[in-house]
Amino acid sequence: MIDRGRGKIVNIASVQSELARPGIAPYTATKGAVKNLTRGMCADWAKYGLQVNALAPGYFKTPLNQALVDSAEFSSWLEKRTPAARWGNVDELVGAAVFLSSKASSFVNGHTLYVDGGITTSL
């Protein structure tokens, strides 16, 4: 990419890049690292024409999260905590990924885009 003078990198972060939940400190630490890695890569490589951003999903219905989805207690907590009042659907990540990968984001660099139903905006 440096030789070409252009390129786009989209790292996968998480709302856990900003938030913590009991019992998942190692996951939270790694996702915080992805967010700052994204910023560092931008600082190092933007001068070569590279764009490095991160996509940070909130809570989405996936096979990996199925136990949480199936937990009435957790789902109730999530729906009360998230302004959109629901779990995300995986297809709702597509537009954000396309945006970060397209010319529409030509001056977006070092950014973490949260697709989270607003959970990172409120207590």
- Does an H or E element contain 52, and which? strand 50-57
Handedness of CA 23, 120, 99, 88 (dihedral sign): positive
- Does an H or E element contain 42, and which? helix 25-45
At 41, list the tokens.
Answer: 């890569």
φ and ψ of 60, to 5 deg:
-120, 145
Tell me which residues are annotated as active site. 27
At 98, list the tokens.
Answer: 């396309």
